[in-house]
Amino acid sequence: MKTITKSDAIKTITTHYIDGGLVESHGREIMDIVRPTDRRVIAQVTLGDEDDTRRAIAAAKRAFATYGTSKLEDRTEILRRLHRAASARIDDLTAAMVEEYGGVVRFARPIVESAVNAFAAAEKALPEIQWTRGWDKTTVTLEPVGVSGLITAWNANVLFLCLKFASAVAAGCTVVIKPSEMSPLQARILVEALHEAKLPNGLLNVVTGRGNTVGAELVRNPDVAKISFTGSVGVGESIMRDGAATMKRVTLELGGKSPTIVLDDANLEEAIPAALGMAFLNSGQACAAGTRLLVPSKRLDAVKRAIADAMSAFPVGDPADPKTAVGPMVSQKQFDRVQSYIRKGIEEGAEVLVGGEGHPQGLDAGYFVKPTVFVKVSNDMTIAREEIFGPVLSVIAFDSDEDAIRIANDSNYGLHAAVLGTDLSRARRVASQLRAGRVVINGMTDDPQAPWGGFKFSGVGREYGVYGISAFLETRAILEVA
């Protein structure tokens, strides 16, 4: 397969990966891919349509007839090959995430490494699942749900693709992937890599296209049993609604407005840089970004000084420079969205402590915004309630631990949360009362076997490890009379 590498020439992609090979797109729409650092067109991709999608679903259905009954040893071996194949392209995947999306390299590389590691993590989780259990004349087995549609967002596309695909492979499912139409270069490098794993034809199919064509076909097609989706709440709601017609199983990984609680015994010199790191994670374009900073009212002045001091550790600029902490927004639309929320915050009476509207100085060629921290925010303001998906942090004061817990839980979202403090048992007590799918104590961390997913509007279901594989399984009981 012809490989994509870094060059100044405009790349073109006119094919999809169906039934073990690249096939020319039936869809004819051509989309420009714009580099967020300087708005230059770096690629043109021919988008797939419903015909391409149906062809991919048919290939996945044929493959499921065999792969759906595969042995665990075979799946283990395939996961190993996938891990090896993906590992060989970590550098290229990182470079594509930096160029195509504007992801800062200091975040992009670990994200790509986590993506690749998803295959090893799924292999490790496989034997922990109790595939069969029985008593008397009853036997219960876990069965792959069937052909699965995997639909992803642009902000860490490769991670979502690998996580979902690894879980599906472990469960015995075949897939049609619809990567974000804004991430075709990352998706294509991943396809090239995974092709080298010599998979059974039709196990992996990838059609790049728009949500309302390729995505909608996956959601409505009766031959697709399951949709695993990462993206916005609005699209998640439509998938749940439209998928009901064919009783789709759904996993929805949606948005967040995650609280970071700084307890009053926290060491601010450590807690504030950690909190800013979580707020500006992936340039703020992260579902888990800690965008509400809850601080004790009696320490507010000290917190403000600590924020002002710590901001120099979060420079904006070229995402390829390892020193850069905040890169550009992915698109003009995302730039405008962030600007409109900054304006809204000012209109509603919040005070800009750092940042504000417009481009940072000297960075107006791309979609760069100023990392912005608001103080005097109340939890009912728009900037405290809605997901902005940019480097905008709202500082909200609280009076007691109970007050902090109440404010943290007063949100439509419940994806991620953080508690920072010196007394660990107190931090644990607060963490145990937060309505969020993941709570970290004293800094951002990850565990590929720990479940990932949200309470409330942050989604339905869980990914990672055993939990992620289980999301692609059905339970069957066989009962004998004699």
Binding site for ligand NAD (CB under 6 A): 151-155, 178, 180-181, 210-212, 215-216, 219, 230-232, 235, 238-239, 253-256, 287, 387, 389, 415, 454, 459
Residue 380, CA atoms < 13 Å, CB-side half-sphere: 0
Q: How far is the CB of 332 from ligand NAD (least distance, A)?
A: 14
**Residue 253 bears catalytic tag:** yes
Task: Retrieve residue 273's tokens.
Answer: 């840089």
Closest to ligand NAD by CB, 187 or 325: 187
Q: H helices of 88-142, where?
A: 90-96, 105-125
Cβ–Cβ under 8 Å, residues 207 and 177: yes
Task: Retrieve residue 127's tokens.
Answer: 């034997």
CA–CA dist 142, 135 (Å, integer): 15
Closest to ligand NAD by CB, 117 or 310: 117
Q: How far is the CB of 422 from ligand NAD (least distance, A)?
A: 30
Cβ–Cβ under 8 Å, residues 179 and 165: no
Please name the helix (run of DSSP H) or strand (run of DSSP E) that holds residue 144, with its range, or none: strand 138-144
Q: How far is the CB of 292 from ligand NAD (least distance, A)?
A: 14
Closest to ligand NAD by CB, 180 or 394: 180
CA–CA dist 188, 191 (Å, integer): 5
Q: How far is the CB of 133 from ligand NAD (least distance, A)?
A: 31
β-pairing, 416-420 vs 259-262, is: parallel
Cβ–Cβ under 8 Å, residues 102 and 330: yes
Q: Which amino acid is at 195?
A: H
Q: How far is the CB of 17 from ligand NAD (least distance, A)?
A: 16
Closest to ligand NAD by CB, 170 or 281: 281
**Residue 173 bears catalytic tag:** no
Residue 103, CA atoms < 13 Å, CB-side half-sphere: 28
Burial classification of residue 331, based on how many CB atoms lie within 10 Å of its CB (0-12 exposed, 13-18 middle, 19 or more buried):
middle
Q: How far is the CB of 282 from ligand NAD (least distance, A)?
A: 9
Choosing from 50, 100, 253, 463, the catalytic residue is: 253
Q: What is the CA radius of gyration of the chain?
A: 23
Positive/negative CA dihedral, 214, 216, 217, 219: positive
Q: How far is the CB of 427 from ligand NAD (least distance, A)?
A: 24
* Neighbour-count burial for 160-194, b at 16+ CB within 10 Å, e otherwise: bbbbbbbbbbbbbbbbbbbbbbbbbbbbbbbbbbb
Please name the helix (run of DSSP H) or strand (run of DSSP E) that holds residue 477, with its range, or none: strand 473-479
Task: Retrieve residue 106's tokens.
Answer: 């200091």
Closest to ligand NAD by CB, 202 or 414: 414
Burial classification of residue 241, based on how many CB atoms lie within 10 Å of its CB (0-12 exposed, 13-18 middle, 19 or more buried):
exposed
Which active-site residues does the annotation give?
Answer: 253, 287
